[in-house]
A and B are shown apart, each in its own frame.
Chain A
Amino acid sequence: MEAPPVTVMPVTGGTINMMEYLLQGSVLDQALESLLHRLRGLCDNMEPETFTDHELVYLLKGQQGNPFILRARRSLSHPTSPWHLRYLGQPEVGDKSRHALVRNCVDVAASHSLPEFLNEMGFRMDHEFVANGHIFRKGAMKVVVSKLSRILVPGNTENTERLSLSFLVELSVSAPAGQDTVSEDMRSFAEQLKPLVHLEKIDPSKQRH
Chain B
Amino acid sequence: MQQREEKQLEAAVESLISRVAHVKNALHSFIYKLENEYERLTWPSVLDNFALLSGQLNTINKLLKNEKTPSFRNQVIIPLLLSPDRDEDLAKLTEQRVPVFSHEIVPDYLRTKPDPEVEEQEKQLSAEAARIGPEVAQKQIQTLNKLCSNLLEKLNNPRDDRDAESAAIRQNKPSFNPADTNALVGAVAFGKGLSKCRPPGPVAPGHPGQGPMMSGGPTLQQVTIGGGSSQQAGMGGHVAPQQQGQPGRRPGELGKMPSSIKTNIKSASGSMHPYNR
Contact = CB atoms under 8 A, between A and B. Distances in A.
B184 A168 contact: yes
Interface string B213-248: 000011111011110110011000000000000000
Contact of B226 (A1, A60, A205): A205
Interface stretch (A77-85, A119-127, A180-188): A119-127
Contacts, number: 172
B253 A90 contact: no
Contacts of A205: 224-226
Given A57-B191, A154-B274, A207-B182, A122 B259 contact: no
A126 B219 contact: yes
Interface in A22-37: 24-28, 30-31, 34-35
A35 B175 contact: yes
B265 interface: yes
Interface stretch (A8-16, A42-50, A65-73, A134-142): A65-73
Contact of A163 (B173, B174, B184, B219): B184
Contacts of B275: 153-154
B252 interface: yes
Interface in A143-195: 148, 150-155, 163-166, 168, 195
B12 interface: no
A41 interface: no
Prevailing SS type, chain A contact patch: mixed
A197 interface: yes
A173 B201 CA distance: 32
A72 to B, nearest CB: 13
Chain A CB count within 10 A is highest, among B225, B232, B261, for: B261
Contact of B225 (A66, A116, A125, A153): A66
Contacts of B256: 124
Contacts of B201: 209
A97 interface: no
A30 B176 CA distance: 9
B175 A28 contact: yes
Interface string A99-132: 0000000000000000110010010111111000
Interface residues of B, number: 60
A166 B194 contact: no
B228 A61 contact: no
Give the interface size class of chain A.
35 or more
Nearest to B265: A122
A63 to B, nearest CB: 6
Contacts of B169: 195
Interface of B: 169-170, 173-178, 180-196, 200-201, 217-221, 223-226, 228-229, 232-233, 251-262, 264-265, 268, 271, 273-275, 277
Query: Nearest 7 CB-CB pairs, A to B?
Result: A127-B191, A31-B175, A166-B180, A207-B186, A204-B189, A26-B181, A61-B257
16 contacts: A28-B180, A59-B220, A60-B257, A61-B258, A66-B228, A90-B225, A122-B264, A124-B255, A125-B254, A126-B220, A126-B255, A152-B277, A165-B177, A204-B186, A204-B189, A209-B201
